[in-house]
């Protein structure tokens, strides 16, 4: 993919002007010096930090306005979002879903904001760079395996890879390992390709005509942004459910 056409968003320019040296020193200290020492900040990391600041500001704004008797509109909106995430978690993980709800909910809000911020002119989606979805997918992989091991014990969790009957183990174990490794890969590629293709298609149609056509594709891109955040959360819940929920299968 052509890296020469990189365009620095205003936050990246800001960070590179003032904070280039500390990041270069930090990266060199941990053994991965940047290619260009005067330009260590990339678009995706500065946009990610901006999204984190926006989410924190939003929730800091919400928190003092929470009230049991007279909920305002913002509180009702977020209660609806929380109820939605909770119902999805309850369907996917039937047993003790409250424990796994925070991770899935945070993922949903974070990925949703990251996808949507690319639509605002002057900002760029961090999920458009392959690094960001890859990082989130690795986090999901580690999370559901860790939760599975914590729920069942390391030995029993790994023994589930052998399938329903021990005689099938030499066949099932490679299949299970490959399918488990394919999960973060597919999560990454799904999110990255949808966001990247959405932007490229909008740009391509903007090159054709600036009147109505790009707006249609931007609308489609907005819908896809919501959908991809929801699907990421749903797949996380399904993976956690399948890692944690084996207990009930053996009871039957």
Partner 1 sequence: MKIKMLLVLAILFLVAMPIFAQGTAAQTSSPKDWKPVFAGIGMAIASGLCGLGQGKAVAGAAEGMARNPGATAAIRGALILGLVLIESLALYTLVIILIVN
Q: How far is the CB of 192 from partner 1 (least distance, A)?
A: 7
Site for partner 1 in 207-226 (CB under 8 A): none
- The closest alpha carbon to 86, from 95, 98, 72, 75, belongs to 98
Nearest residue (CB) to partner 1, 46 versus 228: 228
With contact defined as beta carbons under 8 Å apart, do 106 and 36 qualify?
A: no
Check residue 1 for interaction with partner 1 (CB under 8 A). yes
Give the integer Cα–Cα distance in Å for 18 and 24.
Answer: 12
Q: What is the CA radius of gyration of the chain?
A: 21
Q: How far is the CB of 194 from partner 1 (least distance, A)?
A: 6
Q: How far is the CB of 31 from partner 1 (least distance, A)?
A: 27
Give the integer Cα–Cα distance in Å for 87 and 112.
Answer: 18
Q: How far is the CB of 87 from partner 1 (least distance, A)?
A: 10
Site for partner 1 in 147-206 (CB under 8 A): 186, 189-190, 192-194, 196-197
Nearest residue (CB) to partner 1, 40 versus 184: 184
The dihedral formed by the CA atoms of 197, 231, 117 and 76, expressed in degrees to the nearest 10:
150
Q: How far is the CB of 227 from partner 1 (least distance, A)?
A: 6
- The closest alpha carbon to 225, from 197, 185, 186, belongs to 197
Nearest residue (CB) to partner 1, 46 versus 194: 194
Nearest residue (CB) to partner 1, 57 versus 193: 193
Count of residues of this chain found to bind partner 1 when the rule CB under 8 A is applied: 14
- The closest alpha carbon to 161, from 232, 138, 152, 140, belongs to 152
| Degrees, nearest 5: CA angle 151-239-93 | 65
Identify the residue among 24, 46, 202, 228 touching partner 1 (CB under 8 A): 228
Site of interaction with partner 1 (CB under 8 A): 1, 186, 189-190, 192-194, 196-197, 227-228, 230-231, 234
């Amino acid at each position: 993919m052509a890296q020469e056409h990189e365009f620095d968003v205003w936050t990246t320019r800001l960070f590179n002007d003032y904070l280039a040296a500390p990041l270069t020193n930090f990266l060199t200290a941990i053994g991965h010096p940047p290619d260009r020492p005067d330009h260590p900040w990339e678009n995706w990391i500065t946009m990610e930090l901006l999204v984190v600041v926006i989410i924190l500001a939003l929730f800091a704004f919400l928190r003092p306005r929470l009230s049991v008797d007279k909920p305002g509109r913002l509180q009702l909106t977020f209660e609806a979002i929380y109820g939605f995430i909770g119902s999805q978690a309850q369907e996917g993980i039937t047993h003790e879903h409250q424990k796994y709800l925070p991770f899935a909910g945070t993922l949903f809000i974070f990925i949703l904001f990251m996808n949507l911020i690319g639509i605002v002119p002057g900002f760029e989606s961090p999920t458009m760079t392959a690094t960001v979805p890859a990082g989130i997918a690795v986090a999901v992989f580690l999370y559901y395996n860790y939760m599975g091991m914590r729920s069942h014990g390391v030995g029993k969790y790994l023994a589930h890879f052998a399938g329903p009957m021990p005689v099938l183990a030499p066949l099932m174990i490679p299949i299970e390992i490959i399918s488990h490794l394919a999960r973060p890969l597919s999560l990454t590629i799904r999110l990255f390709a949808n966001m990247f293709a959405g932007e490229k298609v909008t740009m391509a149609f903007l090159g054709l005509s600036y009147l109505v056509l790009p707006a249609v594709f931007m609308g489609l891109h907005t819908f896809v942004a919501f959908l991809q955040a929801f699907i990421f959360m749903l797949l996380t819940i399904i993976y956690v459910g399948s890692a944690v929920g084996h207990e009930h299968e053996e009871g039957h």
